[in-house]
Amino acid sequence: MKPRDIASYIFLAVTWGLSFLVLLKVVHAFGWVGAVTLRSLVAGITLPLLAAATRRRLDFSAGWRHFAVVGATTVAAQLIGLSYATPRIGTAMAAILVAAIPLFSMIISQLWGLERITIRGLAGLLLGAAGIIVLVGFPAVPVTASFALGCAASLLSSFSAAFGSNYANRHLRSVGSLEVTSAAFLFGGLMTLPLLLAVPVPTTPRAIDFLYLIVLACVMSALTYVVYFRLVASIGATRTISVEFAVTTIAVLVGTVMLGESLTIIQSFGAVAIIGGCILVLDPFPRPVKAAASPSPAN
């Protein structure tokens, strides 16, 4: 990779890895629904402002229905699940379960005919599924109803992210990343807005809480998506999505070192199994293949 690509990769890993810590603070101040709604709306507004500042005209002619589906899955469902789960199961567990996104993605893409599953990919799916069972089945904390719901919400979050990504790949492939991201955040924020009637903001947020919200929305959501899609265009989607492995590692370190969270030895094996399964599925560093005839252009 070029130095710029390496810098982008490291930026995504560190920023998304630390986002779990900021997310906890935002959820504590605004509630798990308020955190998603305000985060999404702020991020959705930030990106059109960024486009205006760079004099880029956004094109939403693909139709609002496709953008709404992506917003409902990759933003509303994913972030609701993540915001609900993280305070209940901890940043380490939530981060490891987020690493299951590539596993769900491969299943969906196989069912939709977007990819063809291989023996290597099937082995990765089975290994990852076993890791999830071990991780959730042998926790370091008592298995309560709240913990079980948190794990279910985290897995639903990962599935929603995988579904939305494949849907966007299927229906919005020719649409720019700024258009997809800004529309998804705006739709997601508007969809979760009515839920504030059932789960209102618990307290009066402080000034520092609004700062955390802005950092989470503008830097850890809007900016990272722009960097992410640029990296996809530069090194490809498969190598880019492997950043989830680094994100999980950083988030687990944050949870254990800064928040005092713990994982059992058995859970550690489960985490390794999940990450190993994702590596088999994604194959982010494939061996070079010699061309039989004239070389074809790289994707």
- Decide if 59 is inside a domain: yes
| Lowest mean pLDDT across 55-69, 178-192, 230-244 | 230-244
Q: Are 129 and 281 in contact (CB under 8 A)?
A: no
| Residue among 251, 172, 246 at smallest CA distance from 8 | 246
Q: Alpha-carbon distance 291 to 294, whole Å?
A: 7
How confident is the model at residue 298, as a pLDDT?
40
The answer to pTM > 0.85 is no
- Decide if 288 is inside a domain: no
Q: Is the pLDDT of residue 93 over 50?
A: yes
- Decide if 299 is inside a domain: no
For 143-166, what is the mean pLDDT? 88
Task: Tokens for 247, please give them.
Answer: 């994100």
- Decide if 295 is inside a domain: no
Counted domains in the chain: 1
Q: Alpha-carbon distance 47 to 107, whole Å?
A: 31
- Decide if 86 is inside a domain: yes
Instruction: State which residues form the domain around 17.
Output: 3-282
List pLDDT tens digits, range 227-262: 887 777 676 655 666 677 778 778 877 777 777 777
- Decide if 296 is inside a domain: no
List pLDDT tens digits, range 101-114: 877 887 888 888 77
- Using 50, 70 and 90 to split pLDDT, how confident is the model at 27? very high
Burial classification of residue 128, based on how many CB atoms lie within 10 Å of its CB (0-12 exposed, 13-18 middle, 19 or more buried): buried
Q: What is the mean pLDDT of the chain?
A: 82
- Decide if 293 is inside a domain: no
For 159-181, what is the mean pLDDT? 84
